[in-house]
Structure 1
């Protein structure tokens, strides 16, 4: 992730901030199915009000426009996914009864409230989401950044156990000069797979040269922590153009550790994985 190239991000966020989501529902104008459900239920209205209060509180603690814009975008994403994923459960193949559906929505709102109110290390003035964004900035500031760096995050309410949980996955990319190192997380069949990519920018195009996976992905298993050799890495010849628009440079919903030893080595070593070590052939490269 580059040293903050916030100009375009903040400019776009200025318009977002003028219509900050998350305030109490106007039940006189409620149109969506979830909004109507909330307006018809006193407990849901109380939960929604508590979430809105927590959201207003974290916005006050944001500290700067960039983090505030990230929080606004994240809450809008959560609201949109709640309405899309939970708003039509009664039409699904395994449709819950009305009471169960209401309980799923209530739990989702309460879980989001807990996420918004979660504090970092017991510090009563530092919300966890703000701490994550600051840590992402600090790590990115160690490198040059570039057109390929940033967060490409997708979130959904995922079924599991007796309900649904909100999960965010996608690609977290860092760039240092012409080196690009990527962590990608995907959810499928009830489990998470993490894939690591190493690539170089050549003539404006990202050329992935090596890849490995954790948790049963298609490629070879990643080597142990700190290992820089090619053993365990699969060869790749994939190419990719730059994203069509600048990627967000912070995203607290993409909350996984950027301080993995392999990532720092990947971004700073002159050759990573170490040249001359035999690499397992990746299926896509055969």
Structure 2
């Protein structure tokens, strides 16, 4: 029983650490998962781009998917384990939602192996990955904002404290985004949550802007606020603003994302390429995770 699926990465509009409300949008960097279910008792995983990486999240995604859909799939009692292998274009611990993409791809690949991928509600499947991320300790908020953008595509706004989707806008933020990723890594679970909660009034303003469809403005307010709270440089934000419609620190960093017209974003990338790390122009995604 084998299945394959892919899920896109995402960029931040509103970081959910301050209030539990978050917003994100899908971008065209993908993680692919291949799942094979067998008669073993164990689940094992490998991450192709990082053979020493912790595989708890993707393994837990298989376990939770089997637990949740066992009756629907009419599974034999012997089907309890298997393997998962992921390959990714998304840099790890970069703020571009690599964990959410890996979780979504693994859950959907498991459903593909079970023959259920075309029949299940995608938000329900997304929540399986969110719970697995909590189990694995890779997220503070549950990251439903990031996970739902990856699974559904477009822009999503969520209440992560209640695991509730507030808005889903497939039209999203235009066709392109610029990404700057410094060479260092930053793990979401290590973020200073108390510092983020001190800017809850700013996060509330960002949520109001996002719910009003003013995503680019929301991003920029979020960027300045969370750069301050997380002690990240605001210089990449300022370098983008002459041309970008909106720009923000993505997640807890270290990446920054900007949106706007393609030509304008190419100029942003030119400035960001003077910095150590990687700057690139990518397409946004109105579609989400899919089987292969």
TM-score class, shorter: under 0.3
Q: Which has the higher contact order (CA 8 A, sep 6+)?
A: 2
Greater Cα radius of gyration, structure 1 or 2: 1
Q: Larger strand proportion, structure 1 or 2?
A: 2
